[in-house]
Amino acid sequence: MKNTIQQQQQHPPPFSITKLFLNLQMHLPNLFSYFVIFGFGVALGIALSFHLKNISLFSFDDQLHQLSSSSSSSSSSPPPNIQPSSPSLHLVTTTGNQTTVNTTRTGLNDYVSLRPNNNNAMHDMTEEELLWRASMAPRIHEYPFKRVPKVAFLFLTRGAVTLAPLWEKFFHGHEGLYSIYVHSSPSFNETVPQSSVFHGRRIPSKEVQWGKFSMLEAERRLLANALLDITNQRFVLLSESCIPLFNFSTIYNYLINSSKAFIEAYDLPGPVGRGRYNRPMRPVIRLEQWRKGSQWFEMDRALALEVISDKKYFVTFKRHCKASCYADEHYLPTFVSVKFWKRNSNRSLTWVDWSKGGPHPAKFQRRDVTIEFLKRLRSGSHCEYNGKSTNICFLFARKFLPNALDRLLRFAPKVMGFN
């Protein structure tokens, strides 16, 4: 029995060998697949390693070459002299699908004024754009160029400046010391001779109604246009019926050297004064702050900037000063008295005759214009100027009709000192 078992151990039965062979045949395809995948992975790894090695070698060689070239050039030649480029303005114009870029040299003069040549006061800005542009002011008060201050004459008219020949004589020979701006009705289309100082001086205008808020808007529009020229230092509002009472030099020096503005402002009890106050203006404007005065103002540049930038008081007047309120007689007197009373003389430089009463001042025709009358307007009053007493209180006068022009032209050289 024992011998039989030993024989079986030494010589296993034939079916076990057959079974092993069958198992090997079953797993052979899997072993072959594993071998193929292993071989592919080894080949891919070798290829990637060789490629990365070449890249790093080439990159290092390039860097080394650039470094050596840079070192040799820097040691053999000085650094290049780089000149700063001139500032330029790129003007982009789009017409249909075509865009054109025009590069031009832009210097200080092009930035100082919107219209450096000062030949035409027209532009295509909207009201909002105009006020925004005009409100810009330099924080550095010293100018980097020679600046000759000018007086801006703002004419608020229905149509033509009817007394233009008198003003032509007034301005003659003083170019560069004044600017002219005319706000007339948009429907007015009369041409002005090119030789006239009023040629090209009309600004973009809107319709104005007497006694309405549009009058105040027109005044502010004139101020804003004049502020576009940074050389304008003083601003005086005039009408087509105004005349100068002195020659240009006298008026120019009087205005340029003045330490205060000339805006009439006073507290007037009664229906045409405090009676025009509207309670909804509170709390922005209180009754005790309400003032009245002539609309014909004169002011310096700093105050003009405040006027065209004001929204608080301007909007309040626009909302609540209607009907018989007459904003042009109350806005500036109230606004300046509340905020800038120390800078104001509380008087107007334009003489007007209200002695006859009524809503309109007296008008003067040809027969009214005499040498004695003009002399009385020039020195018949007493006031304060820069802290001193003077008898020159009015520089302008109104309302003179067109038929008075011939006498005004005749007396101007003798009485007013025109050349």
pLDDT for residue 142: 85
Using omega within 30 degrees of 0 as the cis cutoff, is the peptide bond preceding 150 cis?
A: no
The runs of H, that is alpha helices, within 77-86 are none
| Inter-residue contact 183 to 205 (CB < 8 Å) | yes
State yes or no: pLDDT of 337 exceeds 80.
yes
Instruction: Give residue 47's pLDDT band: very low, low, confident or very high (50, 70, 90).
Output: low
pLDDT per residue as tens digits for the range 51-96: 544 444 344 344 434 434 443 443 334 433 433 333 444 444 444 5
Please report how many Cα atoms fall inside a 13 Å half-sphere around the Cα of residue 415, on the Cβ side.
20
Q: Which residue has the tokens 């004049």?
A: 226
Over residues 9-33, the mean pLDDT reads: 50
Instruction: Give residue 356's pLDDT band: very low, low, confident or very high (50, 70, 90).
Output: confident
| Inter-residue contact 168 to 199 (CB < 8 Å) | no
- Residue 386 has phi, psi (to 5 degrees) of 50, 40
pLDDT for residue 21: 45
| Span of 17-21, 206-210, 273-277 with lowest mean pLDDT | 17-21
Over residues 226-242, the mean pLDDT reads: 97
- Three-state secondary structure call for residue 370: coil
d(CA 262, CA 28): 114
pLDDT per residue as tens digits for the range 287-304: 999 999 999 999 999 999
Instruction: Give residue 109's pLDDT band: very low, low, confident or very high (50, 70, 90).
Output: low
Greater model confidence, 78 or 189: 189
State yes or no: pLDDT of 40 exceeds 90.
no
| Inter-residue contact 154 to 226 (CB < 8 Å) | yes
pLDDT per residue as tens digits for the range 154-174: 999 999 999 999 999 999 999
Instruction: Give residue 143's pLDDT band: very low, low, confident or very high (50, 70, 90).
Output: confident
Q: Domains along the chain?
A: 147-416 (3.90.550)
Burial of 300 (0-12, 13-18, 19+ CB in 10 A): buried
State yes or no: pLDDT of 42 exceeds 70.
no
Supply the pTM of this predicted model: 0.74
| Inter-residue contact 292 to 329 (CB < 8 Å) | yes
Instruction: Give residue 35's pLDDT band: very low, low, confident or very high (50, 70, 90).
Output: low
d(CA 126, CA 241): 29
| Span of 17-26, 135-144, 349-358 with lowest mean pLDDT | 17-26
E strands along 10-80, which residues? none
Instruction: Give residue 119's pLDDT band: very low, low, confident or very high (50, 70, 90).
Output: confident
